[in-house]
């Protein structure tokens, strides 16, 4: 999924000392459009003004449940990425992925689409023809560490993820490991991501890695985390040093549990790029625009075939004053 904001800030993320003690910090989403005149609206909790990352997780969008009956639904034209992994997860509906490596994959609920951008890739995402009436899901990014940020781009689709079931609910491990269940998805830093489903009126207790920082993204109403209410689309940052977390719900509840070792490197995020400096993301923008306007299939980002509309043009880079504002962050 793309960050299609027309005036995206250049943000400095990571490289911030994280307290070793547990915290409880509520991150409220901001609403942003996903696309042009036919845009869906999504709630973005990462990067947040008060908290830019959770481990290597650096971007989190939550959308739906959206009624898209008779509507285009998700329509994100070809766009580039560098230095990150995109994690696509659906609760309802379907999304068609195409990328410049020639992959075409329909993702459905319970299936993981994982695209590693590395030195550069482009892709599109759309609700396919004949799509269902509802679209509901999340899109996340994982920042790649410095030594792997220029790896060759590649794509994974996992339709058979480990699921742990109990009377209290179930846990599907998207990435990393939780409670002994290990995802087959490739990771580059110590992290985990899981969907948690809670049975109505029950509480589900999960073990946590004390060295990780964690957060819970609520994907349904009536959710509580360690007894604290968390509204749908909100994220509760839990800090480090926790050995467990308890999720409860009055009705059937769903949430994403994210965690990872604090990301010690400072990164620069702008538009759909993750780099280490302004110059690096500026070069990525220049490379994308050169390839986009020429249609060169042998360029850094390649060409996505099959999408009906032109690729996204990159917005203008922020000036020095706006870049300076993006460097500020509330201390942890």
Neighbours of 114 (CB within 10 A): 22
Residue 220's nearest CA partner among 238, 206, 191, 199 is 199
Q: Which residues are annotated as a binding site for Fe cation?
A: 79, 81, 123, 125
Work out the average pLDDT over 164-173: 96
Residues 17/43, Cβ–Cβ less than 8 Å: no
Q: Which residues are annotated as a binding site?
A: 79, 81, 123, 125
**pLDDT at position 223:** 96
**pLDDT at position 113:** 97
> Is residue 150 scored above 70 in pLDDT?
yes
- Which residues are CB-contacts of 43 (< 8 A; sequence separation ≥ 6)? 29, 30, 31, 61, 62, 63, 233
**pLDDT at position 131:** 96
Radius of gyration of the chain (CA): 19
> Is residue 214 scored above 70 in pLDDT?
yes
Residues 89/78, Cβ–Cβ less than 8 Å: no
Residue 53 or 320, more confident:
53
Distance (Å, whole) CA 26 – CA 217:
10
Q: What mean pLDDT value characterizes the chain?
A: 92
Distance (Å, whole) CA 141 – CA 57:
6
Give me the phi and psi of 134, to 5 degrees please.
-130, 140
Residue that has been written with the tokens 């990780």 in this structure: 212
> Is residue 261 scored above 60 in pLDDT?
yes
Helices (H) and strands (E) in the chain, counts: 2, 27
Residues 245/279, Cβ–Cβ less than 8 Å: no
**pLDDT at position 226:** 96
Give me the phi and psi of 208, to 5 degrees please.
-130, 150
Distance (Å, whole) CA 8 – CA 144:
21
The string of pLDDT tens digits covering residues 262-290 is 999 999 999 999 999 999 999 999 999 99
Neighbours of 158 (CB within 10 A): 17
**pLDDT at position 15:** 80
The string of pLDDT tens digits covering residues 218-247 is 999 999 999 999 999 999 999 999 999 999
**pLDDT at position 329:** 38
| Percent of the chain clearing pLDDT 90 (strictly above) | 83
Work out the average pLDDT over 169-175: 97
Q: What is the pTM of this model?
A: 0.93
Every domain of the chain and the residues it spans = 25-260
> Is residue 61 scored above 80 in pLDDT?
yes
Quote the DSSP letter at residue 145: P
Distance (Å, whole) CA 262 – CA 55:
4
Is 25-260 assigned to CATH 2.60.120.380? no
**pLDDT at position 323:** 56
The string of pLDDT tens digits covering residues 7-36 is 788 999 988 878 788 889 999 999 988 765
In what helix (H) or strand (E) does residue 64 lie, and over which residues does it extend? strand 57-67
């Amino acid at each position: 999924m793309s960050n299609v904001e027309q005036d995206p800030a250049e943000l400095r993320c990571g490289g911030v000392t994280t307290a070793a003690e547990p915290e409880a910090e509520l991150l409220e989403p901001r609403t942003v459009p996903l696309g042009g005149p036919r845009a869906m609206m999504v709630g973005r909790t990462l990067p947040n003004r008060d908290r830019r990352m959770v481990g290597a997780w650096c971007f989190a969008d939550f959308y739906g449940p959206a009624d898209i009956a008779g509507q285009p639904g998700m329509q994100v034209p070809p766009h580039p990425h560098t230095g990150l992994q995109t994690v696509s997860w659906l609760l309802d509906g379907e999304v068609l992925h195409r990328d410049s490596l020639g992959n075409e994959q329909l993702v459905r609920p319970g299936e993981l689409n994982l695209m590693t951008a590395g030195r550069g890739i482009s892709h599109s995402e759309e609700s396919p023809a004949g799509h269902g009436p509802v679209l509901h899901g999340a899109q996340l990014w994982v920042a790649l560490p410095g030594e792997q940020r220029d790896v060759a781009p590649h794509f994974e689709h996992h339709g058979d993820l480990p699921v742990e079931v109990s009377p209290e609910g179930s846990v599907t491990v998207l990435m990393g490991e939780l409670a002994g269940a290990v995802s087959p998805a490739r990771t580059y830093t110590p992290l985990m991501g899981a969907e948690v489903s809670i049975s109505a009126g029950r509480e589900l207790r999960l073990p946590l890695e004390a060295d990780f920082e964690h957060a819970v993204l609520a994907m349904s109403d009536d959710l509580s985390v360690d007894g604290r209410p968390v509204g749908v689309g909100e994220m509760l940052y839990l800090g480090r040093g926790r050995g467990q977390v308890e999720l409860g719900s009055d009705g059937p509840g769903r949430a994403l549990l994210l965690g990872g070792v604090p990301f010690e490197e400072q990164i620069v995020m702008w538009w759909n790029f993750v780099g280490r400096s302004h110059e690096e993301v500026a070069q990525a923008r220049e490379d994308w625009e050169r390839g986009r306007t020429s249609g060169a299939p042998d360029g850094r980002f390649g060409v996505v075939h099959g999408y009906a509309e032109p690729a996204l043009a990159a917005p203008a880079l922020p000036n020095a004053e706006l870049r300076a504002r993006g460097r500020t962050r509330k201390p942890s």
